[in-house]
Amino acid sequence: MKTKKIAIIGKGASGRAIFYHLAKIISSNTKKYSNIQIDVYDPRENSGVAYSTDIESHILNMNLSSMTIEPDDTSHFNSFIQSNPEVLVNYSEYLDNYNDGNPPRKLIRQYLDFVMKEALALEKLHPSFSTTFFNKEVENITRHGNQYHVHTNNGVAEYDHIVLSIGNLEPKDHYKDLVGHERYFSNPWPFSRLLDGIGSSLTNDKTVIGVLGSSLTAIDIAVGLKEKDYKGKVLFFSRSGLLPSIQSPRRSYYESKLKHLSHSNKSSIKLEEVINLIKSELQEVERKRIDFNSIFNERYVRSARENLEHDIRGANLDGFKYQDYFFNISKYLPAIWERIDIDDKLNFLANNMSLWSTYRSAMPLQNAKRINSLIQSGELQIHKIAKDRKSITITDRAISVKNSENEILECDYTINATGTSLDTKSTKNRLLKNLIQNDLIDHHPAGGLHINPRTFEVLNSKGNVSNNLFLIGSLTRGNLFYTNAYEANVSQAKNLSKIISNLIIKKDESR
């Protein structure tokens, strides 16, 4: 019988999740699933940029209940902690503790390594299931009849099914004029490279580091520098001049009507209907009438420090019911987003996404307290960047940024923390550029690539499905919305593993 070959492109969290769930299904029935080979391609050794850091204060902004590879089995994380004596000693507080605490991201890197070992152990139990890992960059994929050819600098290999799990694209390139400047970092990751670039200036109390952005990545930069005994100042610059909100330290459950909307037979859903329902339910959650315009305006009127202290007080008291609500509805949004028309999607992304991210992508309370301490000591300042085109000027040794008060602040080093891009039209990713040229994939106007949300297969420029060429992860945002979250990617991987395993059975039955 001919071997069924599957290629997984990318070995970050999504790639590991799909490999694990495929291995689990394939190894469960050696008769039903036979003669299967999975090849995994990634030039990197780590489990993705998000978990590459060794900084203890680079912590999860999700609790552990969201981080297991087995969404229906929270004990899986326990088995990881108990399997490693060093982890057990250092992180025993996370045993049976899924709703509190935010462990360092490096712990999730170790967990994902554990997941890979489990998957490989399952593979060894199957007599005709094999896996090979290639530390190679995939440069191109071409289609030949019902199969695909994967091209690397080492040659070409043929596959029946391909999963693209390539993670995030390069950072947003808002500051093209800065690229190439010796003191500009277009990407803060890996953090070790950033620290090496700053070098001995870390211990100079006159050093000023500017950070373009004030979201979670900016928070990681500030607390990471402090952990490494940085002596100088950090300046955040962003369009809003706002920090993320703070996570509620407790979780409560809310049964939302969005569940019924997501499961309804409606072929299209209006954004206005969704927003009105969310506003109505938020008032039920808070048990009071809410003037939403006033709440949002208050956040913009107050300074970043005032908002931070306000949020810390709230988190220390009863937490935030509205945040629990946002957490609970996240799982219903992909099915709703899929049926919102493109004009409404683009309107939301342009006018509401920033505010959504402020409340949904909140920072952990312990990092909020660290940031507040840095602000109080004068080690961190938050600035609203000037709107004019000359807000940033460049000299040989420094980059100066003008704030909304028309102050010009000189930075010895400047770091782009505006986040990753979903613009596949302007990406530098060689594989995506070739796939577009080969007309196997197509840009989605709301970001990422067009997919069939039922099968995860990509669509080409004519809207036709590229059969058996699948995509999971952040680049599915145009169709599935909240796709840069770990739990969303694990859910995608689990669902896709069932789809691929069913295709394998059908292929065998048709022979």
pLDDT of residue 389: 65
Cα(226)–Cα(228) distance, integer angstroms: 5
Digit-coded pLDDT (tens) for 162-213: 999 998 888 776 777 888 888 999 989 889 999 999 999 999 999 999 999 9
Query: Could you check whether the bond before residue 85 is cis, i.e. omega within 30 degrees of 0?
Result: no
Q: Delineate the domains of the chain, giving CATH numbers in brackets.
A: 4-170+422-427+438-510 (3.50.50.60), 176-244+364-416 (3.50.50.60), 258-360 (no CATH)
pLDDT of residue 73: 80
Residue 443 CA from chain centroid, whole number: 19
pLDDT of residue 96: 56
Does 99 score more than 70 pLDDT?
no
3-state helix, strand, coil in the chain (%, to 5): 45, 20, 40
Q: What would the two tokens of residue 55 be? A: 């900084």
What's this model's pTM, rounded to 2 decimal places?
Answer: 0.91
Digit-coded pLDDT (tens) for 105-156: 888 899 999 999 999 999 998 999 999 999 999 999 999 999 999 999 989 9
pLDDT, mean of residues 290-318 = 84
Contact present, 282 and 325 (Cβ < 8 Å): yes
Q: What would the two tokens of residue 126 be? A: 């199957």
pLDDT of residue 172: 73
Cα(116)–Cα(19) distance, integer angstroms: 8
pLDDT, mean of residues 462-481 = 95
pLDDT, mean of residues 416-433 = 90
